[in-house]
Amino acid sequence: ENNVYKYYSEGEWRKSVSGKSVAIVNPTTRKTQYKVQACSQAEVNKVMEAAKIAQKAWAKTPLWKRAELLHKAAAILKEHKHPIAECLVKEIAKPAKDSVTEVVRSGDLISYCAEEGVRILGQGTFLVSDSFPGNERTKYCLASKVPLGVVLAIPPFNYPVNLAVSKIAPALIAGNSIVLKPPTQGAVSCLHMVHCFHLAGFPKSLINCVTGKGSEIGDFLTMHPGVNCISFTGGDTGISISKKAGMIPLQMELGGKDACIVLEDADLDLAAANIVKGGLSYSGQRCTAVKIVLVVESVADALMEKVNAKVAKLTVGPPEEDCDITPVVSESSANFIEGLVMDAKEKGATFCQTYKREGNLIWPLLLDNVRADMRIAWEEPFGPVLPVIRIGSVEEGINHCNASNFGLQGCVFTKDINKAMIISDAMETGTVQINSAPARGPDHFPFQGLKDSGIGSQGITNSINMMVKVKSTVINLP
C-alpha cells in the first residue's frame, strides 16, 4: 500500500517485502491514523549486517566530526518541531504543547550529548606500573574508551522521540551504530525524527529504523547475535529481554511506583501542586509520575482539600486542544486502569471525584484511604488515577515505599532538610527528590531505577559511558 510509512535502512526509505503493515490507532478517535511496515526477520538480518559494517567506519570518524553531525541533526529536529509534535498528538494523544516540548528537549539533548561526548571521550587515562607492589617503572598503560558496536534502541510510547534520542545520541557520539525499534504508538514520530538524522547527512546504515510486530521481530532483535548493547525503556517486557539477551551491556528503565511522602511540616500548597502535576501530567503516563501519595494523617485532610481543588481545575479532552487530561494510549490500557479502580472500590477506597470514562478518556481521579490490600497500592496504573494512603508515621511511609518491587524515584515534602536527608537515605529508589515531584530531567542528571525499575544508569554522561568499553594498550619497557 502507498499510504504505509516506509522503514529506514541503508540510508533509504523502504517498503517491507512482507507486504504487511501495522496499524497505529489514534487514542482519541480510536481509528487507524497511520500504518507502518511490518518488517520481516530477513530484513532485520540485513539491517544488522549493514549496521555492523557502517559502525567500523564511523568509529574511525574524528570525534569532532561526529559531534558536528549531531549538532546538525539537533538543529534540523528543532526546525521540524511542529510536524513531529503533530504526529505525537495523533499517535499517543500527548497534549499539543507538551508534544512540542518533547521535540525541543530532544534537540537540546542531542546537542548536549555531542558536547559532553567530545569532553568525556577526548580523555583517556595513563598509568605507570611502579605503584603496585613488586613492579618497577617499566609498564605504561594507556586506556581509552572505544565503542561497543551496534546498539539496539527500544524506546516506549510515552516519549517516542525523546527516549529514542536519549539512546541514539550517546550511542552515536561514542562511535556506535544504531538499530532503532520504535514502539507501535509513536512509530511515525520516530520515523520523522530519524528523517532529521538522514537530512543531517549521517553515513548510510549508521542509523536504521525497523518497524513491525513485536511478536515477529521483538525477540528476534533483542536476541540477535549482531547486537552489542540494548538500551530499552518500557514495561515488564524489559525483564524478559534481560533474561534472554546475550552477554552484552544492558540499559533498562522499566517503570516505577514513585511514592510521594508528605510530612507534617510540609508546605502543603507546594506538595499539592507537585502531586497534581507530578501525578497527572500526560494523564499519569510517565514512569516518573507520582504513583502513590503517603501523607501523615494529621495533615491529610488539609492536603487532600488542596489537591482536589487543583484537580477540579484540570481540563479533560482531546490533545489537540491542549487539555491537561487526554485519552490514555490504548483501550487495553484504559481497561487495565479501570480494573484497578474497581478493585479499590470493592475494597472500600474513598473516591474524591466521580469515576468517569469515555472510550480511552478517563477523568482524573484521586483515591483516598487506600489500603495495602488494594492492587492500586502496588501496581502502576499508567493513567490519571492516583491512590493516597494515610500514614501514622514516616516509617510507615518508608516501609511502604521499600516494600514495592519498583524503585525508580520518590519524593519527600518537608521543611526540615535533616529529616529529608534521612528519609532520602532510607528510600530504596534510584533518585529521591526533596520538595519536588519525581522527574528524569534535566537530562544530564543520572537517572536509574533499583529492583524491577531497571539496570544501569542513564542521563547523558552515564549513557555515553555505558555505550563504550575501556581498551588499554600497555607499553613494556626493557
Q: Which residues bind ligand G3H (CB under 6 A)?
A: 158-159, 286-288, 439-441
In this structure, the number of other CB atoms found within 10 A of the CB of residue 241 comes to 22
Sheet with 150-154, side-by-side order of all strands? 12-14, 7-9, 207-209, 177-180, 150-154, 229-233, 250-253, 454-455
Least distance in angstroms from the C-beta of 256 to ligand G3H: 8
Q: Which one, 85 or 287, has the nearer CB to ligand G3H?
A: 287
Q: Which one, 276 or 287, has the nearer CB to ligand G3H?
A: 287
Least distance in angstroms from the C-beta of 206 to ligand G3H: 25
Least distance in angstroms from the C-beta of 233 to ligand G3H: 6
Residue 420 cell numbers, joined: 529529608
Least distance in angstroms from the C-beta of 95 to ligand G3H: 13
Active site annotation includes 380: no
Least distance in angstroms from the C-beta of 414 to ligand G3H: 22
Least distance in angstroms from the C-beta of 290 to ligand G3H: 11
Q: Which one, 181 or 286, has the nearer CB to ligand G3H?
A: 286
Please pick, among 87, 196, 260, 287, the residue that the annotation labels catalytic: 287
Q: Which one, 37 or 409, has the nearer CB to ligand G3H?
A: 409
Active site annotation includes 287: yes
Q: Which one, 224 or 286, has the nearer CB to ligand G3H?
A: 286
CB 310 within 8 A of CB 342: no
CA atoms within 13 A on the CB side of 103: 29
Please pick, among 253, 323, 352, 401, the residue that the annotation labels catalytic: 253
Q: Which one, 99 or 228, has the nearer CB to ligand G3H?
A: 99
Indicate which residues carry an active-site annotation. 253, 287
